[in-house]
Structure 1
Amino acid sequence: MSVSDDHKQQALAAKTRGNDYYKKKEFKEALEEYGRAIGLDPLDMTYHLNSAAVHFELKDYEECIKQCDKAIEVGRENRQDYTIIAKAYARMANAYHKKDDLENAKTYYQKSLTEHRTRETMAKLSDIEKALKDRERLLYINPEKALEEKTLGNDLFAKGDYPNAIKHYTEAIKRNPEDAKLYSNRAACYQKLAEFQLALKDCEQCIQLDPHFVKGYTRKGLALIAMKEFSKAQTAYEKALEIDKNNQEAIEGFKKCILSSSSNPDEVRKRAMADPEVQQILSDPAMRLILEQMQTDPKAVQEHLKNPEIQSKIYKLMESGLIAIR
């Protein structure tokens, strides 16, 4: 089958009129012109793509997909440029996305990329993949299943089987990721296995989810003590005592931090000076002047603490064990 040059020219003219109508959102007229172009030159896939674009705007996504499918069929038969084939696949994917059919949207974005890679299509595929993962994660959430897994974890923890307890706590977290206590329980397992960095990470997540959960702070303090971070551990125990001043675990942990820090001040200073943030604070001439003033005039610290930036730096030095405010 072939198309005469005259029909090709007429088809192009119809497309141009269709584009003008499309820009003015006169979609009925645009569809008529694109249909005329298809009738005059059925071997050019772009006219089907133009028609698909109108149906997309009309939210007739099924017809948009059909027109894209037809465009690809015509394009394959007539060896049209792969970039246009890619565009048809991407438009199909857009329509599926609007229908909330994420699996098909992913499939057709991938097909588009096999024809021609563009940043826009790659970004859209990435967004779809993230949305699918989020949907899968949300569908997996089940507080009742989480409780079952937590109970199994507790039983194994009581038996001293910490690795398998971790597996059940991890499954419980997947089933109910907003339950702060699950992270605290898993942190306890990590501490038993001397995985203090992992324990600390879980404690931080626990505290983020529930800033008033005392156990999150006491377990954080315990992990930091094991890592010889006594000043940071002291801060964690202080937070716990702000919530519950009679908490014995926090009281004992706090005392241990005080004794450990005071028993080896050289070691405390050595660890603090290895911290890049501390180094940066101490290299600031303005901060050095403030620290000197604090030594000669202890009351000056209250004025300096009114400045949020300086307050943050002073607290960092306190946390590191380099200075103390009485």
Structure 2
Amino acid sequence: MRINRFISCLTVVVILCFAEANAQSYEEWIDSANVCIERDSLSLAENCLKRAVETEPGNARNSLLLTHLGHIQHQQGKREESIQSYSLALNYTPLDILALLGRAASYMELGDEERAYVDYSNVLDKDINNKEALLLRAYIAVRKRAYDVARADYTRLLDSDADNADAALGLALLNQKQNRLKEATEQLSELIRKHPGNATYLQARADVLLQRGLFDLSLLDCEEAIRIAPKDAYAYVSRAEVFLQLKRKRDARKDLDQAVQLGMDRILLADMYKQCR
């Protein structure tokens, strides 16, 4: 296996050395990039695509090349560089959906949700049913407290894709945030029915039931979530919250200790530990 990889890498290096020694055309640089991609040599493919664009800076196809370049840079963790490439691609073809989605993803990973929101909105101006843009703009909208926008996006996505679990969960959590707890419970129950054995949905419903004061039902969901995912620290924190409401302080403390053992930061649980005294 290592020998095959060595030969593959050597082949790519030979191709690029030949390319550098002999002035390549636009198409030849693209072909070299494809060879590098096939051999999983992303940094070399990145160089080839840059050289192609430099060879013919006025070529209309550069929009697609720069979008591919941005994707390759994103895969390598070069978020800032990928944003530059996507932005250059958009100079050639403004409102190109692939470039906008790619740039938005890089913005999200850098924590720049405002710019990502703008890009997702521009995608939806062109393709109102784009699933990725609807889902992620809704997510950002909730964080911005633009709840009407989030609800509209989740609803539109579910209208076109009724089985989209991410959108269904997002809408349920939005209903919880807006104190529409009965709706949230029903939506989470439907998710659990469709996806039995999913600890995330059980924990989410447990939180809603806790908020509704249905402590015994919440405890049942917590215990089932722990049975399914015994290494999930958050599940123990959820159950500890229920135990505190039931005045079972000793049990709550045990669950908090277990959560800490599983990696939860004890500082984040300081208030709950105080309630266990």
Tell me which interval the TM-score lies in, with the shorter structure as reference length. Answer: 0.3 to 0.5
TM-score by length of 1: 0.35
TM-score by length of 2: 0.41
When Rg is computed on C-alpha atoms for both structures, the one with the higher figure is: 1
